[in-house]
Chains A and B, each alone.
Chain A
Amino acid sequence: MTVTDEVRSPARASGQPLLEASGVTMQFGGLLAVNDVNLSVHEGEILGLIGPNGAGKTTFFNCLTGLYKPTRGQVRFNGVPLAPKPRAVVEAGMARTFQNIRLFANMTALENVMVGRYCRTSSMALTSILHGPKYRKEEAATRARAQELLDFVGLGRSSEHLARNMPYGDQRRLEIARALATDPKLILLDEPTAGMNPLETRQASDLIFKIRDSGLSVVVIEHDMRFIFGLCDRVLCLVRGETLVEGTPIEVQSDSRVIEAYIGTGESDDEDAGQDTPAGGDEEGKS
């Protein structure tokens, strides 16, 4: 990748983590989708979240962003406990994109991004009907900022296109622009390169570096290992809702349990009994 370790390290700030999730557990009836997951993200850090399908990555994201109320556990942002309400989360400074693109299909690219500005602008019902000078100024500022963000993700020329008519890769970028419009300190990307070709994937990781360099922290869910290991400062691997390994890309990459979790060990693949070594090792690793 273009960014080397020397460039990366100064951005990795120490001290209090920006996002700190402790013991997050999400239970749906009898299904333990996320079990006691801890996560901390520091300022300017890119953290990767990997794991096989159904490992609970997206569910964990939903817990972080207030879409789900975790059964147990706490999420702290900037040291303050976060109420499990999407609006509170956005206002605190955390934004996200979705695994299945969820744009406002019948709005233009620009309007989509302007919706992202919603919680950062003050004008309310009456002022927007009477639209005084303050309102007009704010509306113009919103528009300008939205255009700026479209330029930032490389969609500056598509601002008047309807979201549903845009090519797939552009829709992913647009989602990122919309998330950035909420002025986040941390952005959560759920499979930002799903369905992309190698060129688009490379562009996506350049964009993520660019976002990080502008001072944001990034948490990214991805299946593309090369993408993740080239991008992240730290990687967390979830398996069946539990943290299997956490460490630098090199540590995680070489961890035999991660490889087993993805490929299987052969004997234990069909059994959930858990007396085999990977599960046992996991248990020890956590305590």
Chain B
Amino acid sequence: MDQFFQQLVNGLTLGSLYALIAVGYTVVYGIVQLINFAHGEVFMIGAFGALSTYLLFFDGQTGVWILPIMIVGAIIASVVTAVAMERVAYRPLRNAPRLAPLITAIGISVFLQELVRVFYDRIPFADFPSAKQRIPFPQLDGVSGKAVEVGDVTIQRSAIFTVAALVVCAILLWYFINRTKLGRGMLAVSQDPDTARLMGINVDRIIVVAFALGAVLAAVAGVSQGLQNNNIDFKMGFIAGLKAFTAAVLGGIGNIQGAVFGGLVLGVVESMATQYVPGQFGGGTWKDVWAFVLLILVLVFRPQGLLGARVVDRA
């Protein structure tokens, strides 16, 4: 039974990370029907933003009070990246066939990875390490170090941070979407962009907000990942982005609760599969296989996703 709870904890931790990233996919999809495959890179750049903030201002210190400032640094890096990406790459393609922005997204993804890989240590006035190999992520008191033991279940401090971050973000997001003017504007645009425009809503601004919102959560996820793995690298956005996209589809793309739920389900399924699938198909090496098997099953039997409503395509 302890094994079960241990895997549940691991799964929820992993799932929280997926969920934080998945929201970015789903929010952008809900507004512009674009799968932003470069979102994984927004997450990666968030982690680098946090690291840069640390190296620039607090190198060598370990106080937990640095963490909020690192998160702010991460958010700034991610939001700037996402907003610039929307402005430069997606907005000119707003009325293009849908394949064009999709391919552009993949191009941006590669571009951003290479940008970080090649130029991170060449940023002037800063003494950053080369990003060509893994860079150690700063370890802070309180959120890293000795794990917490509850019975026989081991909970990493970074895991607590990750889950707490998801809870806080989810609450703030719910509030933002349902209780603020901009959130209402987003809902309106996602349901009918033309009518929203005729009601005086600045659709371009709403799209920017959607990208920024996804970037904020991705930035938090980037910091979480750094704390959990103790290191970051320029490739970290690829597999995390792919899994988060899976989570978003699993929950029903376009549906924010669905993205959070899908992320958690995916994380738990992966962890459980590691533990309970017997023989040669079990263990860590096969966990990605089981994650995508789950995706295929959901797409076959419930194509709209776990929480998605069957939507009629817009007229």
Q: Do A and B bind each other?
A: yes
Does B197 reach chain A (CB closer than 8 Å)?
A: yes
Does A261 reach chain B (CB closer than 8 Å)?
A: no
Which residues of the other chain, B, contact A104 by a CB distance below 8 angstroms? 187-188, 191-192, 195-196
Report yes or no: B200 in contact with A91, Cβ–Cβ below 8 A.
yes
Report yes or no: B201 in contact with A115, Cβ–Cβ below 8 A.
yes
Report yes or no: A87 in contact with B194, Cβ–Cβ below 8 A.
no
A39 to B130, CA, bound (A): 68
Residue A115 contacts which of B176, B184, B209, B212 (CB distance < 8 angstroms)? B184
Residue B181 contacts which of A65, A95, A103, A121 (CB distance < 8 angstroms)? A121
Give the dominant DSSP class at B's interface.
helix
Which residues of the other chain, B, contact A194 by a CB distance below 8 angstroms? none
Chain B CB count within 10 A is highest, among A87, A116, A182, for: A87
In the complex with contacts A115-B184, A115-B185, A128-B181, A107-B201 CB distance below 8 A? no
Which residues of the other chain, A, contact B179 by a CB distance below 8 angstroms? 139
A118 to B191, CA, bound (A): 16
Report yes or no: A114 in contact with B199, Cβ–Cβ below 8 A.
no
Does A111 reach chain B (CB closer than 8 Å)?
A: yes
Question: How near does chain B come to A109, taking the closest CB pair, in angstroms?
Answer: 13
Does B182 reach chain A (CB closer than 8 Å)?
A: yes
Does A178 reach chain B (CB closer than 8 Å)?
A: yes
Which residues of the other chain, A, contact B202 by a CB distance below 8 angstroms? 87
In the complex with contacts A104-B192, A107-B188, A86-B197 CB distance below 8 A? yes
Question: How near does chain A come to B216, taking the closest CB pair, in angstroms?
Answer: 10
Report yes or no: B182 in contact with A65, Cβ–Cβ below 8 A.
no
Size class of the contact patch on chain A: 20 to 34
Does A234 reach chain B (CB closer than 8 Å)?
A: no
A118 to B202, CA, bound (A): 9
Which residues of the other chain, B, contact A86 by a CB distance below 8 angstroms? 197-198, 200
Closest to B315 in A: A100
Does A226 reach chain B (CB closer than 8 Å)?
A: no
Residue B201 contacts which of A67, A87, A125 (CB distance < 8 angstroms)? A87
Closest to B209 in A: A125
Does B180 reach chain A (CB closer than 8 Å)?
A: yes
Does A202 reach chain B (CB closer than 8 Å)?
A: no
A116 to B191, CA, bound (A): 14
Within 8 A of A (CB), among B4-37: none
Interface residues of B (CB under 8 A from A): 172, 176, 179-185, 187-188, 191-192, 194-202, 209, 212
Interface residues of A (CB under 8 A from B): 65, 67, 86-87, 90-91, 95-96, 98, 102-107, 111, 114-116, 118-121, 123-125, 128-129, 131, 139, 142, 178, 182
20 A-B Cβ contacts within 8 A? A67-B194, A86-B197, A87-B200, A87-B201, A90-B198, A103-B195, A104-B187, A105-B191, A106-B187, A107-B187, A107-B191, A111-B184, A115-B184, A115-B196, A119-B199, A120-B200, A121-B181, A128-B176, A139-B180, A182-B199
Contacts A95-B199, A182-B199 known; 6 new A-B pairs at CB < 8 A:
A118-B185, A121-B181, A123-B180, A128-B176, A128-B181, A131-B180
